[in-house]
Structure 1
Amino acid sequence: MSTLVISDLHVDVLTESGPKEILKGVNLTARPGEIHAIMGPNGSGKSTLAYAIAGHPNYKITSGSVTLDGVELTEMTVDERAREGLFLAMQYPVEVPGVSVANFLRTAKTALDGEAPKIRTWVKDVEKALGNMQLDKTFSARSVNEGFSGGEKKRHEIAQLELLNPKAAILDETDSGLDIDALRVVSDGVNRFTASGDRALLLITHYTRILRYIEPTFVHVFIDGRIVDEGGRELADKLEAEGYESYVKAAAAAVA
């Protein structure tokens, strides 16, 4: 059972002109089996939340807490957070020339478990995970993300999710750049991950289209580094109809 708790989180981003505060006190608890959709306009801090939780060095947590099953993550290195059971699917997955998908996946699994998976069963597991994402067996011989289409990158991320089996996952705009067929494949993968009911998921997105295939437990509206509203699926429908303008204006008025 996996619970991710974010408490009064403040985060600065390192810029050329110095630190800039982006997150201004975020509170969110994702319990086992819950899917939390985080929605908001560009520049509202959604990706900053993801990278700060994961431990990106350019995102400095100045105060607050992030725990996974009661274990404080904020003082841990990126790999330590991963071993505690945290997973991040990045908005822009990086290319790793010369490292095959097969080697990357096996190395990651070994690092997380502390021992290498058995070859025979692991090969079958990889083939199944890739097949679920409609990726050919030969995909595992390609260099990680090198020459991948946008859809291939995102489907590969969800294959990782299935194979590494974390306690809690953050998906940063996994629906970005996907056509309708790839969106369905990715959504099916996410739904398989949450089907057991014992893992938590944060789903960061601009749009409601992925929520047609993944049913959120909660929807949170992110504006200017804060959660300013939350609700159920009906809130996503409201955002689809009305956009973020009223929230942006209210935030600007509060600052003024």
Structure 2
Amino acid sequence: MATLEIRDLHVSVGDGESAKEILRGVDLTVKAGETHAIMGPNGSGKSTLAYAVAGHPKYTVTSGAVTLDGEDVLAMSVDERARAGLFLAMQYPVEVPGVSVSNFLRSAVTAVRGEAPKLREFAKETKAAMDALSIDPAFAQRSLNEGFSGGEKKRHEILQLEMLKPKIAVLDETDSGLDVDALKVVSEGINRFHDGDPETGVLLITHYTRILRYVKPDFVHVFAGGRIVEQGGPELADVLENEGYEKYVKAGASA
């Protein structure tokens, strides 16, 4: 059973005197079969958590621990984290001119699985995943994220998720910038990944409850001031929808 454990995680941005602590002691456990939603206002540290777990060099872990199935994630390089079973869907995917979606996917799949998939099988697998996400087949020959709409970028992130089949998926504001139709398609992709393998877990970061109408969380965590200040079941998302984050922001500032 895959388990991601985050213990007393402190993360800073910047160097020397300009360093600023963003995460101030985060504790969270995501187990296989579970969907966790992290909600909170802008600037609360939600994306910092995602990038720190994934190994972005901009973020410095000053103390705490992150383990996946008991293995020290913080001691791993970024590619080692991916091979171990971690996946990050980015809020703002990077454009890579000259690298086609198809070549990128095959390189990523080869790196994670440890061997190159047979071309015919890979083409069949890719086409099935693209069809399920309502992606035009011509999309595979376009440069990675170059000129993509917001919806296309987010669908491509979920395409990667379905192809790479990680143990734990960290999805950073995957619903950002999506219209209703695209939101449904992306949500269906997340559910298809999670429901298709009970050995996987999902950590979904979002501002809004609208994606939670389609991707049902088991747990909801409220993030404020660089830490989790409240947690509960899916009903907590409804409380946030009705009451907003103000009281939680105050709790985060005083903690």
TM-score by length of 2: 0.97
Q: Which residue of 1 is the match for residue 44 of structure 2?
A: 44
Using the alignment, how far apart are the partners of 2:107 and 2:252 within structure 1? Answer: 45
Aligned to 2:132: 132
Give the equivalent residue in structure 1 for 2:31.
Answer: 31
Paired residue total: 254
Matched, 1:202 2:203: yes
Match of 1:222 in 2: 223
- Report the counterpart of residue 212 of structure 1 in structure 2: 213
Q: Secondary structure at the match of 2:48?
A: helix
Deviates more, 1:192-201 or 1:101-110: 192-201
Unpaired runs of at least 5, structure 2: none
Q: Distance in 2 between matches of 1:135 and 1:237?
A: 32
SS at match of 1:74: helix
Q: Tell me which moved more, 48-57 or 113-122.
A: 113-122
Distance in 2, Cα, partners of 1:192 & 1:144 = 23
- Correspondence for 2:54: 54
- SS state of the match for residue 12, structure 1? strand
Counterparts of residues 10-29 of structure 1 (less than 5 Å): 10-14=10-14, 18-29=18-29
- Write out per-residue CA displacement over residues 76-110 of structure 1, whole angstroms, 9 at most, x where no aligned residue: 11111111010000000000000000000000011
Distance 1:79 1:163 in 2: 16
Question: 1:80 and 1:250 mapped to 2: Cα distance?
Answer: 37
Q: In structure 1, what is the Cα distance between the partners aligned to 2:81 and 2:173?
A: 21
Give a deviation string over 1:13-32, Cα, whole Å, max 9, x none: 12696211110110000111
Match of 2:153 in 1: 153
| Deviation larger for 109-118 or 83-92 | 109-118
Amino acid in structure 2 at the alignment position of 1:68: L
The CA deviation string for residues 47-67 of structure 1, in whole angstroms up to 9 with x for no partner, is 000000000001011111111
Alignment-mate amino acid for residue 235 of structure 1: L
Regions of 4+ moved over 2 Å: 15-18, 249-252
Per the alignment, residue 78 of structure 1 pairs with: 78
- RMSD of the alignment, in Å? 1.1
Indicate how the Cα distance of structure 1 residues 240 and 16 shifts in structure 2: closer, same or farther if over 3 A, else same: farther
Per-residue CA deviations over 1:219-252 (Å, capped at 9, x if unaligned) read 0000001100000111000000000011112333
In the TM superposition, what are the counterparts of 1:237-252 in structure 2 within 5 Å? 237-252=238-253
**Structure 2 match to 1:95:** 95
- Once residues 227 and 204 of structure 1 are traced to their aligned partners in structure 2, the CA distance between those partners, rounded to angstroms, is 13
Query: Normalised by the size of structure 1, how large is the TM-score?
Result: 0.97
Task: Specify the code of the residue in structure 2 equivalent to 1:230.
Answer: Q
- Report the identity percentage: 67
Equivalent position SS for 1:63: strand
Q: Distance in 1 between matches of 2:13 and 2:155?
A: 29
Number of the residue aligned with 1:167: 167
In 1, Cα distance between equivalents of 2:241 and 2:15:
33
| Distance (Å, rounded) in 2 between the aligned partners of 1:8 and 1:18 | 23
Question: Which stretch shows the higher mean deviation, 171-180 or 109-118?
Answer: 109-118
